[in-house]
Amino acid sequence: MSNENKVKSIRVFLKKGHTKPESLPVKVLEFLKSLRDIDAQLFSTWFEQGQSKKQALSKEVRFEERYIAELITKEWDDKFPELGSTFMLWSGKDSEVKNTKVSFRIGVTSSKSHATEFIGISMPFEVSLQPEKDDRRIIDIVKLIKQLFPVESIDIYSFSAGYTSQS
């Protein structure tokens, strides 16, 4: 089996101004829970970023709406609130090559073109853990994203010719 169709990452650009800030915790929580249902090996446990691996491993994400709301609020840009909330979660695996990451930039209200809302999913570096582009899990992730968020475009990056757009 060739590695060229293995998915390295998924990047989703969201339509600005289509998600009410008060709905973000519910959407993020549903997204994380549904990812876990799609593939528990890759997406079952999440940790907030920390200054060190030890610190991050002490910040396991709870699958509770209140917790997610606090995380979004904590990471909201106080100096420039129109830039929303930016945060990353990672799977906390023993080996860095087995980790999965998901990043969010949500709640953006700025009209500046560089201020985009997005969700990014980075697959593990270990090729045996990476799904193929046509794998049911990738199809389910794309469907999930489209159900929960106002999607501008979805780019799926693989080892072959870069990315495939799923607008």
List, for residues 46-97, the tens digit of each pLDDT value. Answer: 999 888 888 888 999 999 999 999 999 999 988 888 888 999 999 998 888 8
118 contacts 12 by C-beta, under 8 angstroms: yes
Q: Could you give the C-alpha distances from 99 to 25, 86, 93, 124, in angstroms and in order? A: 24, 20, 5, 5
Q: Residue 20: CB partners within 8 Å, gap ≥ 6? A: none
Give the model's pLDDT for residue 119.
95
Q: Is the pTM of this model over 0.85?
A: yes
129 exposed, middle or buried (CB, 10 Å; 0-12, 13-18, 19+)?
A: middle
Distance of CA 104 to CAs 6, 7, 117, Å? 23, 19, 8
Spatial contact of 101 and 89, defined as CB atoms under 8 Å apart: yes
Decide the pairing of beta strands 163-165 and 151-158: antiparallel
pLDDT tens digits, 1-43: 567 889 999 999 999 877 777 889 999 999 999 999 999 999 9
